[in-house]
Amino acid sequence: MSSKVGIIGVGMTKFGELWDRRYRDLIVDAGVDAIKDAGIEGNQIGGMYVGSMSPGLFAEQEHVSALVADYSGLAGIPATRVEAACASGGVALREAYLAVKSGEMDIVVAGGVEKMTDVPTGSAAVALMGAGDQEWEAFKGATFPSLYALMARRHMVEYGTTIEQISQVAVKSHDNASLNENAHYGFKVTLEQVMNSSMVADPLRILHCSGITDGAATVILASEEKAKELVDDPVWIKASALATDTIALHDRKSLSKTEATVLAARKAYKDAEIKPEDVDFAEVHDAFSIAEILAIEALDFCDFGEGGKLTQQGETALKGRIPINPSGGLKGKGHPVGATGIAQAIEAVLQIRGKAGDRQVKGAETGLIHNVGGSGATCVIHILSMEK
């Protein structure tokens, strides 16, 4: 059993409307870059986990584990596709972590990919709604914007959260994304632009919602012995925690709290032997701007009901007390659902290495990444840091 598991290489494509790129091209390109970053050869890789939510509906391609291994020149190794809705990438990372931690493998690839823009928007919405309850939500006409709109309204009623505070999340995310060369929506927006953008599901407007994006991301994990042998700056995974909640909103204890995040965070902090205040930055799942507020409360960065105020006061900005989504998050960077959890890990690695460029968080030594499936039915959290 490996006492520690490190990330030794990272690679990702640009996120965006990549109509000239095939599904297989995206994940192969990201994987090649990660292998180069780690300074290893393909024949050193012992296994692969690929997060992809709905390649059949988006790209008419199933059996993607064998496809990716084949086109990466790695046919023969154990390869597994992982699906957990929008948390597919994060759970792929966790499965790779467990494979190394158990001692089964020394070097493992964790990747994520989605090609979402080759189908009409309506078809993409149908595919995405597969992450909800088909009988009780999708069949009744619910969409993910409408589910998160319900959560936003309840939070506003219970805590007095304002649409200005929710909108400020989007403003901050786009500010950060403007510093990220791989971001899909790398442009700044004003509070007025967000609040006057087209209505999607009251109170959420188009600039509160992540878009339809293509992209891929890959990381290379290694055992402690291999990591120290191969690179000078491994970033260690201090904790990996996974929790679930009911899939349908109407069965939950609360619409204004995400219980799976509470449970996963509690275990992650315990396993990493840290407290929330020890986290220097976090990449959280902001598929909708209200989701970031729900996340920072459930992660115990502030009290429940205080997330909107924390954002409005600038505490979650790059130079704030707890920078949230320095990459631009799902809202600004983009959200190719299977790739998101891996892209979060890459941002954490860059920040901890001190190689995040203009969006570098000062003193970034410990980072938390938070990846959610559906409206919160799955949550996977990892805590990463450099060895001190």
DSSP annotation string for 121-137: HHHHHHHHHTTS-IIII
Report pLDDT for 2.
65
For the cut 60, the answer to whether the pLDDT of residue 388 exceeds it is no
209: annotated active-site residue: no
Q: Which of 86, 209, 302, 379 is catalytic?
A: 86
Mean pLDDT score of the chain: 97
Q: Which of 335, 370, 379, 382 is catalytic?
A: 335
- Give the pair of three-digit tokens for residue 331: 């809202």
C-alpha dist (Å) from residue 225 to 49, 95, 107, 114: 21, 19, 10, 33
Fold of the CATH domain 5-119+213-236: Peroxisomal Thiolase; Chain A, domain 1 (3.40.47)
Identical fold, 5-119+213-236 and 133-211+238-386: yes
> Rounded to 10 degrees, what is the CA torsion of 301, 304, 305, 307?
20
86: annotated active-site residue: yes
For the cut 60, the answer to whether the pLDDT of residue 376 exceeds it is yes
pLDDT in tens, 223-244: 999 999 999 999 999 999 999 9
**Could you write out the three-class secondary structure of 303-355?**
CCCCHHHHHHCCCCCCCCCCCECCCCHHHHHCCCHHHHHHHHHHHHHHHHHCC
* Cβ neighbourhood burial of 43 (10 Å; 0-12, 13-18, 19+): exposed
**200 has which bridge partners?**
none
- CA 85/CA 119 separation, integer angstroms: 18
At residue 24's C-alpha, the angle toward residues 20 and 28, to 5°, is 105
Please give the helix or strand (H or E) that residue 110 lies within, else none: strand 107-114
- CA 213/CA 330 separation, integer angstroms: 10
Of 120-124, 145-149, 178-182, 291-295, minimum mean pLDDT range: 120-124
Q: What is the mean pLDDT of residues 253-268?
A: 97
Nearest CA-CA partner of 323 in 280, 373, 262, 260 = 280
The domains of the chain are located at 5-119+213-236, 133-211+238-386
- Give the pair of three-digit tokens for residue 13: 């494509």
Reported as a pLDDT band with limits 50, 70 and 90, residue 94 is very high
What is the percent of the chain where pLDDT is above 70? 99
Residue count of the chain, please give it. 388
Report pLDDT for 75.
96
- CA 379/CA 367 separation, integer angstroms: 17
CATH 2.40.110.10 fits 133-211+238-386, yes or no: no
- CA 217/CA 133 separation, integer angstroms: 28
Nearest CA-CA partner of 326 in 297, 299, 294, 292 = 292
Decide: helix, strand or coil at residue 43.
helix
Q: What is the mean pLDDT of residues 296-308?
A: 98
Report pLDDT for 1.
67
For the cut 60, the answer to whether the pLDDT of residue 51 exceeds it is yes
* Residue type at position 98: L
Reported as a pLDDT band with limits 50, 70 and 90, residue 222 is very high
pTM: 0.97
For the cut 80, the answer to whether the pLDDT of residue 189 exceeds it is yes
SS3 breakdown of the chain: % helix, strand, coil, rounded to 5?
45, 20, 35
Reported as a pLDDT band with limits 50, 70 and 90, residue 3 is confident
Nearest CA-CA partner of 48 in 70, 22, 15, 21 = 70
Report pLDDT for 245.
98
Report pLDDT for 387.
78
For the cut 80, the answer to whether the pLDDT of residue 275 exceeds it is yes
Nearest CA-CA partner of 151 in 78, 252, 80, 227 = 252
pLDDT in tens, 24-48: 999 999 999 999 999 999 999 999 9
Report pLDDT for 299.
98
In degrees rounded to 5, what are phi and psi of residue 62? -105, -175
